[in-house]
Amino acid sequence: MLGFEEEGARYDAPGDAVRGDGGRAETGPEVIRRYLRALPDSPGVYRMLDEKAAVLYVGKARSLKKRVASYATYQGHSNRIQRMIAATASMMFVTTETETEALLLEANLIKQLKPRFNVLLRDDKSFPHILIKREHAFAQLVKHRGMRKEKGDYFGPFASAGAVNRTINQLQKAFLLRTCSDSYFENRTRPCLLYQIKRCAAPCVGYIDESDYARLVDDATRFLEGRSTRVQEDLAERMTAASAAMEFERAAVYRDRIRALTQVQASQDVNPEGVAEADVIALHSEGGQSCIQVFFFRSHQNWGNRAYYPRVAAGTEPAEILEAFIAQFYGDKTPARLLLLSHAVEDTEVLEEALSVSAGRKISIATPQRGEKRRLVEHAAQNAREALARRMAESATQARLLEGVAEAFELDAPPQRIEVYDNSHIQGANAVGAMIVAGPEGFLKSQYRKFNIRRADLTPGDDFGMMREVLERRFRRLLKEDPDREQSMWPDLVLIDGGAGQVSAAMDALAELGVEDLALVGVAKGEDRDAGKEEFHRPGKRPFALPHRDPTLYFLQRLRDEAHRFGIGAHRAKRAKAVSATPLDEAPGVGPARKRALLAHFGSAKAVSRAGVEDLKAVEGISAALAERIYAFFHGGS
């Protein structure tokens, strides 16, 4: 059966595998050949599936017929592609109008389906930006991550939150822009500490007027746009004029701002003169692993870099790795106007068109061979090579530690996925369960989970009951999503922060779900609750301890401490939210924006509760009907 679908449709049902006489699905080139007769000579996306209908590979083609025909034989393919062909039991297809549309659809499907023969981008977090919010008369300087919903000027991306924080810190020194919220700003009667340490011009109390503050904002904008030389020249002229007018204090202010700008530029590391805006992407592969370094250059400044380690099957060519990475990486990010690559990709024109369509502006891709752009690429490639070397060394160490864990707990093989559980609360209040995950690549922070304890019948502080709830919820979901344990989401080892009691509670919870074959270990503090004297409890066996200087012990302590850190962080966040909660949170029709408006107008939730209907109607965004509902909420009306 051919699974042609209309352009842009999602794949919800797999194709039918061809069955042989013995009832077993046939696989290999013969199966692929059967599709060729009905395939069109047009662009599209194809999926290759195994006998269990699991997706092996997603690809795009200028001509579906010609591309699929290339898979109808083993000859001319790498070992990786030959294995993929041999495992193919069925295929499905989607036709598109253009190859560009096929490329975009391919990237979406790879992200959604995660086929094992595709290059997969593992870390896909959004990047932080600097935002100058201009809705208020005195613009606010903030860090921003996510969708660009707020009005203002966005500058980025930055490689990390730390890079943004450092830049904002220096910008505060140089331009004295406020970073406080609007509600905080409106309720100030005297300047805050930031004014005292020369990080803010204190517009909240009128120490600077609107026009002078707007000039600071314009200076900051010009600097972030790359026109820093002109900004510094202007400041130098103002400093000279102030000094000539014997206004030495004002001249000192300009001097300090020039110094702060110099520090910002110095912290940007490599600042190319001939490259105003570019993303530099360099690949290094070695020993079956790959590292891709992405450097972000904006406004002639280096705004940081980040390393990625895509999952790559053996034998994958650099051009294929880079093309797949770029298509997935920019699926939800805006690329620079110029991409500089370490290796040329095959479909440069198609990739440029797809990125241009997605970004809404012209995007160019180049593989420079000389000059400053080539030096930028070489610098990124060197970082990729060094990062991969560090990762491979860490992986070797991690592998030895996992072997030590397997030996200590008598496991059949080194665990590929360890889940560690802990609870955090204060006398039962704001209780949170935490799960962290570790494996051959270290901590897998994208797979950490927190569990708000929901059961109302638990006695406050009942750690055993909390652990039972957490494990029941975690493994009930696993049984629902992957009952046959075919995916890699099932742990090989479960560590519990606690002794025999916690282990017993955990075993009871798992037994009720029918999960009785997991390796389960409790990590107890041991004598005097000292680090290094931990005891390990396993069901039906005597507790034991590891030698004091054993690297495996240190590794297990790190796992336990990471779960503890994550759990405390989740508990503190929940407690802070509870502390800041107000009756307004429950008022009908009052969302975050209206809540801010009410608090800004009345000053406190208590004042809102005492307000009359006419007073409530005076608040921007509060209609007459909503004012009646809010009044009724606080005064027991219906």
Ramachandran area for residue 210 (φ above 0: left; ψ -120 to 50: alpha; else beta)? alpha
Give the closest residue to 485 by CA, choosing from 507, 527, 459, 514: 514
Task: Please give the Cα distance from 599 to 597 (Å, whole number).
Answer: 6
pLDDT for residue 529: 53
DSSP state of 587: S
Angstrom distance (rounded) from CA 409 to CA 215: 66
Domains belonging to the chain, first-starting first, are: 29-113 (3.40.1440.10), 129-267 (no CATH), 277-389 (3.30.420.340), 418-577 (3.30.420.340), 583-635 (1.10.150.20)
Backbone torsions φ then ψ of 155, nearest 5 degrees: -130, 125
Alpha-carbon distance of 45 to 58, in angstroms, equals 7
CB 546 within 8 A of CB 401: no
Residue 198 banded pLDDT, cuts 50, 70, 90: confident
pLDDT for 586-597, tens place per residue? 788 888 788 888
Q: Report residue 509 as tokens.
A: 């919870």
Could you give the 3-state DSSP secondary structure of residue 94? strand
Q: Which residues contact residue 425 at a Cβ distance below 8 angstroms, ignoring those fewer than 6 apart?
A: 431, 432, 453, 461, 466, 571
Of 156, 108, 99, 110, which is closest to residue 332 (Cα–Cα)? 108
Average the pLDDT over 173-182 and give the result: 87
Position 161 scores a pLDDT of: 77
Residue 517: pLDDT over 70: yes
pLDDT in tens, 355-408: 998 888 899 999 999 888 998 999 889 888 888 887 777 778 888 899 999 999
279 exposed, middle or buried (CB, 10 Å; 0-12, 13-18, 19+)? Answer: buried
pLDDT category of residue 8 using cuts at 50, 70 and 90: very low
Main-chain dihedrals φ then ψ at residue 406, nearest 5 degrees? -60, -40
Task: Encode pLDDT of 482-513 as tens digits.
Answer: 888 877 789 999 999 888 889 999 999 999 99
How far are the Cα atoms of 29, 63, 72, 117, 493 from residue 36, in angstroms, in the given order?
Answer: 11, 12, 9, 22, 47
Of all residues in the chain, what percent carry a pLDDT higher than 90? 23
Given a cut of 80, is residue 260 above it in pLDDT? Answer: no
| Residue for token pair 């000094």 | 243
Residue 438 CA, chain-centre distance (Å), reads 17
Instruction: Read off the tokens for 542.
Output: 């005597």
* E strands in 317-474: 338-341, 364-366, 418-426, 429-439, 442-443, 449-452
Q: Tokens 């801010």 label which residue?
A: 596
Indicate the burial class of 174 (C-beta count within 10 angstroms; 0-12, 13-18, 19 or more). Answer: buried
pLDDT digits (tens, 9 = 90+) for 325-366: 998 888 878 888 999 999 999 889 989 998 998 888 899 999
The percent of residues in the chain predicted with pLDDT above 70, rounded, is 88
Per-residue DSSP letter, 311: B
Answer for the pair 43, 60: CB distance below 8 angstroms, yes or no: yes
How many Cα atoms within 13 Å fall on the side-chain side of residue 215?
9
Confidence of residue 268 (pLDDT cuts 50, 70, 90): very low
Kindly report, residue by residue over 395-442, the tens digit of the pLDDT.
Answer: 788 888 999 999 999 999 999 999 999 988 776 577 888 999 999 888
Q: Give the span between the Cα atoms of 325 and 124, in whole angstroms.
A: 11
CA distance to 275, 295, 337, per residue, from 356 (Å): 19, 20, 9
Local structure of 591: helix, strand or coil: coil
Residue 252 has pLDDT above 60, yes or no: yes
Res. 523 pLDDT band, cuts 50 70 90: very high
pLDDT, the chain, mean: 82
Residue 273 CA to residue 104 CA, distance in Å, equals 33
Compute the Cα dihedral for 482, 486, 489, 495 and give only its sign: positive
What are the φ/ψ torsions at residue 176 (nearest 5 degrees)?
60, 35
The pLDDT of residue 258 is 73
Helix axes 210-224, 228-244, angle to 10 degrees: 140
Write out the DSSP string of 95-164: E-SSHHHHHHHHHHHHHHH--TTS-B----PPPPEEEEE-SSSS-EEEEE-S---SSEEEE---SSHHHH
From 272, 181, 167, select the one nearest 223 (Cα to Cα).
167
pLDDT of 63-111, one tens digit each? Answer: 898 999 999 999 888 888 899 999 999 888 888 888 888 887 888 788 7
Q: How many other C-beta atoms can be found within 10 angstroms of the C-beta atom of residue 13?
A: 9
